[in-house]
A and B are shown apart, each in its own frame.
Chain A
Amino acid sequence: MNPEIWRRSPVSFDRRPAQTETRDNWMVVLKYEDESEGPYLIDLSPRTRWDVQDSHLAEIRPGGVPIPDKPGQCTFQKGILVNRMNRTQAAVWHLTGETPEPPAHAAYTDVTESTVFLALVGRRVFAITEKLTSLDFLDPARSAPFLLQGPFSHVPCQVVTLEKSPDRAGILLTCSRGYARDLVAAILDAGEEFGLRPAGQIAFHNWLEELGY
């Protein structure tokens, strides 16, 4: 591997990084200057994501984590979030920052490069999201984490509500990589009145820790 060849995230915030780290040729921002107290928009695009497709999904355990039975359900264990999408398909998101190779099983496809991966966490997150989508992240009939698939700022997205509580609320979302710039601009614009700012990976880890993950 040539360390001078950089991989680039589809997301670039108009903020000065205060702390960075190199991982697998990605330049990862750990912290931005003047992050304030949130809510935060965090770029998780370098984190590994797999697509799993098989007619016998129940027999597959990505990283030892079971795939939930019903579409819309999620399992979050060992830093791996597994989202059941439909009868034959699940998404596997590695939230810890590790970059494991996909298992040899043919069911797996590495889709890290396919999508932009964002976290929107902190106070009044759902006041921001309701400006962008009619997806119901606070549906009382669902317990977090749960997956919704639908338009977010008019772009087809997969969105997982990881936490509903008002102070620590948070969602994770992915969509086609090409939409990254416009999606980020739309989210930041919607969040401006609530003090939304870009934040680095540390903010994400702190948030996960606060949630007890």
Chain B
Amino acid sequence: MKRLTHLPTLRIDPSQEIPLKYNRRTYQGVHGDTVATALFANGVRILARSLKYHRPRGLYSLDGECSNTFMQVNAIPNVCTENTLLRRGMTVEAQNVKGTPETDRMGFMDKLDWAMPAGFYYRTLHKPARIWPLALKQVRKAAGLGVIAPDFEMKGKYDEIYPQADVCVIGGGPAGMSAARAAAAQGLRVILLESRPWLGGFFDYRPAEYHDGVPLYRRARELAQRLEETTNVRIFSHTAMVGAYNNNLITAFQQGGPGDHFDERYIEIRAVSVVVATGCIERPLLFENNERPGVMQIGCAHRLARTYGLLPGEQAVFSIGHDLGLEAAIDLFDLGLKVACVADIREDGQDPRLVDELAARKIPFWRGWVATRAHGKKTVTKVSLSTIPGTQQRDFGCDLLVASAGMTPVTGPLTLAQAQLQYDLHTGFFLPAQLPPKVHAAGRLLGLHDALAIEASGHLAGLEAAADCGVSVDADRQRARENLDSRPGPVRGCKLVLAPVKGRKSFICFDEDTTIKNIQQAIAMGFEATELIKRFTTAGTGPGQGGIPGHNLPLFVAQYLGEASVAAQPTVVRAPLVPTFLATYAGSHHDMCKRTPVHDSQKQAGGVMRRIGVWRRARYFSQDFSCREEIVNVRNNVGMLDASTLGKFRIWGPDALQALQRVYVSDMSKVSEGKVKYSAMCNDDGCIIDDGVVVKRGANDYYFTTSTARAGVTGEWFRYHTRYDGWNFSIVNLTDAFGVINLAGPNARQVLEKVADADVSNAAFPYIGYREFTIRDTIPVRAMRLGFVGELSYELHVPSSYMQALWDILAEAGRELNIRNFGVEAQNVLRMEKCHLIIGAESELRTTLHDVGLGFLWDRTKTAAKTVGAVALRQTAEQEGRLKLVGFKMEDPSRTPKDGSLIVDRAIRGYICIARHSFTLEEPVGLALVEAPLNQEGTRLEIFEDECGDRRLYAKVVPTPFYDPEGTRLRI
């Protein structure tokens, strides 16, 4: 197809050819083309088939208002090809077709519309019920919008940015640019978002006069150039605004160009004030076959020629309801398009200069006529026109029908910003009756058509936004308002929705193949609210988000029902306003997690790393996930565990002890120097939330540990529970400051004494002792003698920068003993054998201190401390009906139940918290929370495991701990 290469409005460079592959053939587009315009230039008119009826679809709006041009590009389905710029090497395929779009073997579906009335999906093929699953499969095979493989990997770079702005302007047309200039002139930081790849809006492609002989397109370029030269304005072109949230948080996504480092990026802007200047789209004209390829909107036809240099057809008929249609007909005629007729829905109100120009070109102009049918099996070959009442009819042969009922404002951003819209009788628009604070509207979306009025409106909105930012612009605003008032106001809009047709093939929603007949069927079934009709017929629920039916649906419903009480109400739109790749939302995929100082050496030693909370930890040290060797080694020899993820805190100050007394259940005044005190924290309900140890390092100076999970919140927990007391204490989180090595096993002392600069004998450093010493004269260590895994253990807290050095020193010192690492899972089994709890594993939100057998930690006498949870602990100490923690052994020693399995009889009586095969005891053991009557020793527990059917496992409640109940191994 020959391009118009001489036009000053072009946005393509015909000298730069870009190839693309489509249907196994290579076509040539040019730089600046979209995928769809490149295909159009090569004679491709049918780009897709529709969702349900497999009707042929082609270019209609050029702005992505519907799924007509959704294709598979580079294996990515549902790419809107009419606003995706052509890039070298693209491979394009049609979707939802069997064969090619021109010869789709599923095209017969179009003749079965009688079998698919409104609500078909809800009402048909459901009786008998067994039919529906079979029918559903066939429906899904026949219908759809793109296919994606479960293992599909999105290629490309997807980025994100979070720029800051005082004023965010949405829309880069004349109003938006004027608003941005006005705000920027006040020294504010302005961001301008424009969905097309360039600024200019509806000035950009039009040669009509702006003012004083200057054409509109030149004015657009002037405004754009000035704006681009303004340093405090950031322009994001090819950027679709998709969301608006509280306090003017605006989200958008931008398509990358040739020089960009991203394919698409997510943009999140926090602005003080927002100006919405999104202009208008065209309201589709409804007639039979109104979506046949060859039918297109005014802007689509005009921009094809003026922006892409492509005449949209050879012989055209225009059926329009706006002066832009007359202007387009004149301009396209001058560019070489034959215009058979211009039918204007309006009886009057046209710009007389345009009417004269039509006459000068001898283009037939019929007022009060409208298209009623597009003929042609695949593309338009003929058009029927009729008078508005349908009394007269004429046919015209043509390959292009430019059809539009008028304009409709793009109010999606305003709706998302919580603006209230209501129908305006003069313009026929849904206009904002009330705008939220610090949100302004400007330009064509208010019904303005005059170019100077549009700019004046934008200028005023920019000043209003500047005022929101605290700039004093009262005098400027007054002048801007007077200027706007002196210009022509909103123009009267065309109200016609439906040509005089029955509507069986008049599509109100292209995405969902919803016809006027479907809407009438829904109304006949009793639906009157537009929102319900939308859902029942699915009109407007496709990827176009109501771009095509958004305005017509409520108008048609109101007109059809014809009752005074039925006012036209727009349906709700929701973010994202424009379909966006999930990959764009995912951004650069950084999974931010924490690593301990010995992460790498554990990994090198065979550690299998797993994400546990915010940390990545070594869970196993072999592919034997039962951890037999790691466990046996700790029980019989010595092992090293990286426990650096434990929460660690310093608390100090004159009232530090009071704070500890408030938060811990024990009497913390009994913390003595050189000793470790174990205690727990509860919430106000008496439910256990954490446990750990506390040591005293000086007068009013304590060091304590928490569980890994609570490390991030413990500081605030202390502050929250002491907020009314005015106590003088400070707390600092040292979780990352110290690495922790748990050196455990009967031979642990033999290793430590080789490297420690202190006496670590049982006498000098007994069980529950705390010591501070150095290792090899260099590494300062805070050492605790604990026994979480049930063996002689030293918990060595060391500055994180020295952690790797100490790890290596201990490994070397233990080499002759065959010291080895053990991971989190081995620790889990070891501590379970000893019945040492992990809060969260053997407790839940409703589990009190008493339920898990830790009631002995609670000091009832320290009432003055007002311990958190003490009141509830008193009330629940003897409460009936609570779940209690018990130990159990399996009747069948070959079978270990899964964690989380239920304890049942005729009802659920509890659940298994943890169960493992104990290599120490050589049988499976576990801990369960069960209803109190079941917690008696010897009780038989019936266990329901998922997917076990009618089979049950059985266990018996036994005394705890399972291992070393006297605790002698801790004290050796």
Give me the interface of A with B, judged by CB distance under 8 Å: 1-2, 5-10, 25-26, 46, 51, 53-55, 88-89, 106-107, 109, 111-115, 130-134, 136, 138-140, 153-155, 176-183, 185-186, 189-190, 192-193
Contact = CB atoms under 8 A, between A and B. Distances in A.
B366 interface: no
Contacts of B270: 134
Contact of A2 (B162, B777, B804): B777
A176 B592 contact: no
Given A26-B801, A134-B162, A107 B730 contact: yes
A193 B593 CA distance: 24
B592 A154 contact: yes
Contacts of B779: 5
Contacts of A186: 588, 590, 592
Interface of B: 159-164, 189, 261, 268, 270, 588, 590-597, 599, 614-615, 650, 652-653, 700-701, 728, 730-738, 776-779, 799-805, 809
B732 A111 contact: yes
B696 to A, nearest CB: 14
Given A114-B734, A138-B164, A55 B592 contact: no
A139 B597 contact: no
A142 to B, nearest CB: 12
Given A8-B801, A8-B803, A154-B592, 11 more contacts: A1-B777, A8-B597, A26-B801, A106-B653, A106-B701, A109-B732, A113-B800, A113-B801, A114-B737, A132-B162, A178-B596
Q: Give chain A's interface secondary structure class.
A: loop
B754 to A, nearest CB: 15
A181 to B, nearest CB: 6
Given A1-B777, A106-B653, A130-B163, A53 B730 contact: yes
B593 A182 contact: yes
A83 B851 CA distance: 46
B466 to A, nearest CB: 14
A188 to B, nearest CB: 11
Given A113-B738, A140-B189, A182-B593, A131 B161 contact: yes
B237 to A, nearest CB: 17
Given A8-B801, A114-B733, A130 B590 contact: no
Given A5-B805, A177-B800, A179-B592, A130 B162 contact: yes
A71 to B, nearest CB: 16
Contacts of B730: 53-54, 88-89, 107
A89 B719 CA distance: 13
B106 to A, nearest CB: 45
Contacts of B599: 181
Nearest 4 pairs between A and B by C-beta? A178-B594, A7-B801, A53-B730, A134-B162
A53 B778 contact: no
Nearest to A193: B261
B157 to A, nearest CB: 9
Which of A6, A7, A112, A138 gathers the greatest number of chain B CB atoms within 10 Å? A7
B592 A113 contact: no
A7 B802 contact: yes
B590 to A, nearest CB: 4
Nearest to A89: B730
A193 B652 CA distance: 47
Contacts of A109: 650, 732, 734
Contacts of B268: 134
A89 B261 CA distance: 41
A185 B590 contact: yes
Given A131-B160, A133-B162, A182 B590 contact: yes
23 contacts: A1-B778, A5-B809, A8-B597, A8-B803, A46-B801, A53-B732, A106-B700, A109-B650, A109-B734, A111-B737, A113-B738, A114-B736, A131-B588, A154-B590, A176-B735, A177-B597, A178-B596, A178-B614, A182-B590, A182-B595, A186-B590, A189-B590, A190-B588
